[in-house]
Homo-oligomer: A and B are copies of this chain.
């Protein structure tokens, strides 16, 4: 039997939506998978270690990182929320995570960033990873923060990170906007695999999307990863038949890439 490439991968946010999806899918890559979340994660299965952990607890995070050789960081808050909560989970949490990873000599991380880091671009814009960020929410700002923290740890210490600006990773698109941002679970898994095993990634920002017909993002600066999506939102085209009911010209949920996220935030109710 072949040894698995990693000794111990840490997956944070293991009780979250994508965390549950990934829990089994990443087992092939690591002898042990350490799962972490602030919430309950159920029973440990074979090859798993469960560590309940609040990422804003510096000491706990330092301990969490012991013996880890790669990190998939999906932890923290994944929707709009009051800034103080975002700050604890997504800002202090990420700072603790990187300091711990650095101290323990982790060589590579994958950071689950988000399209909401650039949600204030228009749906008629074409972006690449070098264009200025334009976050659409407190959540989006915290994702830019994470990208910058990882940039720093690479420039300062050579700690490599792939930041995936995840589009919409759900079983299927829930509206027409997600036809452009859809990322299938299989493609997400493949993108994680590429991010973990490419010989060198430095600090790479990649847009997490499947091979959709209508796209807003150009992954040219992540071409070294070798990511080739196999799925496309086109298989769900029948859910959104051609329609001439155009949105109003000032409807910001279709003007901007961030969609209705721009309106959902509790800060603005």
Are the CB atoms of B70 and A244 closer together than 8 Å? Answer: yes
Q: Mark A212-229, 1 if CB is under 8 A from B, else 0.
A: 111110101101111110
Question: Contacts A29-B242, A246-B108 given: A152-B177 contact, CB under 8 Å?
Answer: no
- Please name all residues of chain B whose beta carbon is closer than 8 Å to the beta carbon of A249 when the two chains form the complex: 158
- Please name all residues of chain B whose beta carbon is closer than 8 Å to the beta carbon of A213 when the two chains form the complex: 226-228
Cα–Cα, bound, A199→B181 (Å): 14
Are the CB atoms of A223 and B214 closer together than 8 Å? Answer: yes
Oligomeric state, in copies: 6
Tell me, yes or no, whether A1 is within 8 Å of chain B by CB.
no
- Please name all residues of chain B whose beta carbon is closer than 8 Å to the beta carbon of A136 when the two chains form the complex: 152, 155-156
Are the CB atoms of B243 and A126 closer together than 8 Å? Answer: no
Are the CB atoms of B199 and A123 closer together than 8 Å? Answer: yes
Q: Which residue of B lies closest to A237 (CB)?
A: B226
Question: Shortest distance in angstroms between A1's beta carbon and chain B's nearest beta carbon?
Answer: 14
Cα–Cα, bound, A200→B227 (Å): 28
Q: Which of A46-54, A71-79, A127-135 contacts B (4 or more CB under 8 A)?
A: A127-135
Tell me, yes or no, whether A196 is within 8 Å of chain B by CB.
yes
- Please name all residues of chain B whose beta carbon is closer than 8 Å to the beta carbon of A214 when the two chains form the complex: 198, 223-226
Q: Mark A251-264, 1 if CB is under 8 A from B, else 0.
A: 00011000000100
Tell me, yes or no, whether A176 is within 8 Å of chain B by CB.
yes
Question: Contacts A69-B244, A92-B87 given: A151-B134 contact, CB under 8 Å?
Answer: yes
- Please name all residues of chain B whose beta carbon is closer than 8 Å to the beta carbon of A262 when the two chains form the complex: 156
Question: Shortest distance in angstroms between A48's beta carbon and chain B's nearest beta carbon?
Answer: 19
Are the CB atoms of B156 and A140 closer together than 8 Å? Answer: no
Tell me, yes or no, whether A27 is within 8 Å of chain B by CB.
no
Are the CB atoms of B124 and A148 closer together than 8 Å? Answer: no
Cα–Cα, bound, A137→B149 (Å): 9
- Please name all residues of chain B whose beta carbon is closer than 8 Å to the beta carbon of A29 when the two chains form the complex: 242
| Other A-B pairs, 12, CB within 8 Å; known A123-B224, A180-B224, A214-B223 | A7-B244, A124-B200, A126-B224, A132-B132, A134-B155, A144-B145, A145-B145, A145-B148, A213-B228, A214-B226, A215-B224, A218-B220
